[in-house]
Amino acid sequence: DSGVTQTPKHLITATGQRVTLRCSPRSGDLSVYWYQQSLDQGLQFLIQYYNGEERAKGNILERFSAQQFPDLHSELNLSSLELGDSALYFCASSVRGGRDTEAFFGQGTRLTVV
């Protein structure tokens, strides 16, 4: 158990809908990262938050947004969903100043858009 919790584990929704994925980082971790992994694809970096502030942005679509709350949990909002958004979405957390690039991943949310 990495200590990172993601909910829900599975989500099936229709095209055009909006969903929210939730992530609770490990206790004490200030950084939260979101990644998208499509079938047989690598981990595509979406966005990173550090202590409530957006820290870095990747190739995140305008239909996607995220935030990190004062209690450090994070939510990823996906709207106007398309079939191509079907993927595994991972959240990871790390301690800034800890061992570099050691991040702890949640079990992911598998999103299926039908």
Partner 1 sequence: GQSLEQPSEVTAVEGAIVQINCTYQTSGFYGLSWYQQHDGGAPTFLSYNALDGLEETGRFSSFLSRSDSYGYLLLQELQMKDSASYFCAVRDGGDDKIIFGKGTRLHILP
Residues that bind partner 1 (CB under 8 A): 2, 31, 33, 35, 41-43, 45, 48, 50, 55-56, 58, 90, 92, 94, 96, 99-108
Strand bridging mode 109-113 / 87-94:
antiparallel
Question: Please, which residue, 43 or 114, has the CB nearer to partner 1?
Answer: 43
| Radius of gyration of the CA atoms of the chain, in A | 13
Query: CB of 103: closest distance to partner 1 in angstroms?
Result: 6
- Output 14 or 39, the one with its CB closest to partner 1: 39
Beta carbon of residue 100, minimum distance to partner 1 (angstroms, whole number)? 5
